[in-house]
Amino acid sequence: MRRLFAIVASGVLLVMVLAGCKALTVNAGPTAKAKTDSTAKSASKPKPKPKPASHPAPAAAGSGSLSALVEPKNGVGVIYKLITGAKSSVDLTMYELKDTTAEDDLAADAKRGVDVRVILDQHLEKSRNTASYDFLAAHHVHVTWADAGTTYHQKTLTVDGKTSVIMTLNMVSEDYAGTRDFAVIDTSHADVAAIVATFNADFAHKSITPPVGADLVWSPTNSQASILAVINAAKHTLSVENEEMDDSTITGALIAAAKRGVDVEVIMTAESEWDSAFSQLARAGVHVRTYADSDNVLYIHAKAVVADAGRSDQQVFVGSENFSKASLGYNRELGLRTTNKSVISVISATLAADYAGAKAYSGS
C-alpha cells in the first residue's frame, strides 16, 4: 500500500468515557490520507504458536476505568500529557515512532530521572525507527529493538505502572491528521499489571505468554479467538473497521453472521487486495462501504468490532490487530475486549459516522 503523510492536527481534547458518561457525537474527520502499517504480507517466519490461553468472558462495565480517544478528532495531546506527567516510569512499545514531540517528552522525562524504557519494532520498521532509536539512546532513554524475528505491531504506553494506553495508532506525527484510529486509556489494575509483566519480559528479550488481565487481547495468544467471540455473539448488529481483510476465518465469521440475520456493516479504505473478500461479504448480505485510497479522504486504520451496540449484551473489540494471518497468528499485538457501555458508545458512534460518509462497495 502507498504511504501518504498529513500535517499533524493541533486540536487536543480528551473524551473521558467512564461508565455513565454521555455518548460522543463524532464526525468523519479531516480530509487527508495517512500511511498504512499493513501486516497481511509481513508474517515472520512461522514459529510454534504458544498454547492459547482460555479467554474469559468480556469484562463487565466498571471492571476498570476505561476512557476512549477518537482520532483524528481528539488529537494526541492527552498522550503527550501522560508522558510529561510521569513521576517514576514510562514504558512504550511502538511499531513505528516518528513524533518529535513525543521523543522530546520522553527525553525530558529521562533527564529529570524518570525510568523511560522503549521497545521499537525492527523486523519491518527498523529503517524508519532508527532515527528515533538513536535520538532516544543519545538522551539516556533505555531503548531496545524488539526481537528481530517477530513483528512488534503493538502500540502501548504505560505510565507509572498505573495507566496504560492501548492504541490502534502508530506514534507518527505526519499520520495523525488524516487517519481514523482509537486509543483506550486503561487503569484496570489487572490489565496494567499484565501489560507491565509482558513489557518487562519483552524488554529483557525473555519468552512470555502474556497474561490476559481483565480483558486484554494479545496476538498470537488469544486474538483470533477473542475477535471471533465478539462476531459470533452478535444477534442483531455488527459494525467493523479494519485496515485489512486477509483472514478467511474472520471473513467467514462475518458472512455467517449476515446469513443468520445480523445486520453487518464493514467500513474500510478501498484496496484491490481486499476485493475478493469484499465480494464474498457483499454477496452474503454484508453492507460493505469504503473510502477511496486517496489523499483527500479519511484513511481507515482503526481495528474495531462492535456487536449489538446499545443492547444489554453489547461488546467491543479494539486494538492493534489487523485481520491478517500475520497479525493474528505471529505478530506481537495488543487490544482489548470489553462490555464497557461508554467505550462502546463512543466507538459505535464513530463507526456509524464513518459508514455514513463512505460509499457502497460496487465490486472490483
C-alpha cell at 60: 463487565
The closest alpha carbon to 349, from 321, 314, 324, 319, belongs to 314
Alpha helices in the chain (DSSP H): 77-84, 100-111, 126-138, 189-203, 223-233, 248-259, 275-283, 325-329, 341-357
Q: Residue 35: what pLDDT?
A: 54
C-alpha cell at 285: 448480505
Q: Residue 31: what pLDDT?
A: 39
The residue count for the chain: 364
Q: Residue 295: what pLDDT?
A: 82
Q: How far apart are CA 362 and CA 364, in angstroms?
A: 7
Every domain of the chain and the residues it spans? 66-360
Q: How many CB atoms lie within 10 A of CB 149?
A: 11
Q: What angle do CA 67, 329, 226 make, to 5 degrees?
A: 45
Fold of 66-360: Endonuclease; Chain A (3.30.870)
| Contacts of 239 by beta carbon, 8 Å cutoff, 6+ apart | 265, 267, 304, 305, 306, 309, 348, 351, 352, 355
Q: What is the CA radius of gyration of the chain?
A: 19
Q: Residue 61: what pLDDT?
A: 37
Q: Residue 25: what pLDDT?
A: 36
Q: Residue 48: what pLDDT?
A: 40
361 in Cβ contact with 285 (< 8 Å): no
Q: Residue 363: what pLDDT?
A: 80
Q: Residue 64: what pLDDT?
A: 57
The pLDDT tens digits along the chain (364 residues) read 434 333 333 333 333 333 333 333 333 444 344 455 666 444 444 444 444 444 445 544 334 589 999 999 999 999 999 999 999 999 999 999 999 999 999 999 999 999 999 999 999 999 999 999 999 999 999 999 999 999 999 999 999 999 999 999 999 999 999 999 999 999 999 999 999 999 999 999 999 999 999 999 999 999 999 999 999 999 999 999 999 999 999 999 999 999 999 999 999 999 999 999 999 999 999 999 999 999 899 999 999 999 999 999 999 999 999 999 999 999 999 999 999 999 999 999 999 999 999 999 988 5
Q: Residue 267: what pLDDT?
A: 98
Q: How far apart are CA 313 and CA 163, in angstroms?
A: 27
Q: What angle do CA 148, 154, 160 make, to 5 degrees?
A: 110
Residue 203 DSSP class: H
